[in-house]
Copies of this chain bind each other. A is one copy, B any other.
Amino acid sequence: MVNTASRSRRRAPGNTQERILDAAEALFARKGYQATSVGEVAGAVGIRSPSLYNHFRNKEALYRAVLERLLDRFAAPMEALAHGPITEERLLDWLDTIVRMHHANPNLARLLQHAALSGGPGTGELIERFFRPMMMRDPRLEQPGLRALGESGLQPWAVMAFNNLVMSYVTMAPMYRDLLGQDPFGEEALERQLALVRTLLLAVLRFDGAAGAGYPPSPTPSGIDEKR
């Protein structure tokens, strides 16, 4: 479908727009929206910043394009989990899928984390499009253990917890790199993270009544400085 008949001269090795998006994604993910300069992005691509404006109206448009591309990448696999009854093994599948997605492409989690901390353009849409769908109280919880979850009103909290668990692995990984003595994004680490997360889910499901409000109102260990 793509012609690209003649080999480009010394001009553009590939689609510049795509290369800008790649570079911008990496930089926005690492430094956030504000701390990333368009000159930096341009430099990473190998052009000067004014040239970048031939492809994107401004910095914000570039950022939104990056977001859009990332959300699209995640949309399809998530959609697949959206139909049919929810069983234990389907929950495991869901976990498995998002762990692998974030592992294979950590930048969405990083951008979401930046947005959660600092805000920035499009944060509202981000919430609506990425978080809202997975937080809606789901009437499809059919198994007894799962139904308890849904009816106790705990479901969104549990979803949040597991989602945080998965995303923070990606966003905090650099901190643990040395401590673990293993590349957090290697194959072996992925398997370990998968096993751990799966174990947690199974454990909490089996635990059952767990969800119930039957928890002692916290013993309050030692003094914790409140804000003055």
Contacts and interface: CB of A to CB of B under 8 A. Distances in A.
Interface of A: 29-32, 34-35, 73, 77, 80, 93, 96-97, 100-101, 104-105, 110, 112-119, 126-127, 131-132, 135, 154, 156-158, 160-161, 164-165, 167-169, 171-176, 178-182, 191-200, 202-204, 206-207, 210-213, 215, 217-228
A224 B154 contact: no
B115 A175 contact: yes
B180 A156 contact: yes
B175 A195 contact: no
A120 to B, nearest CB: 10
B35 A32 contact: yes
A77 B222 contact: yes
Given A161-B165, A192-B220, 12 more contacts: A31-B34, A32-B118, A34-B34, A104-B225, A112-B172, A135-B180, A157-B192, A160-B169, A161-B197, A165-B168, A194-B218, A198-B215
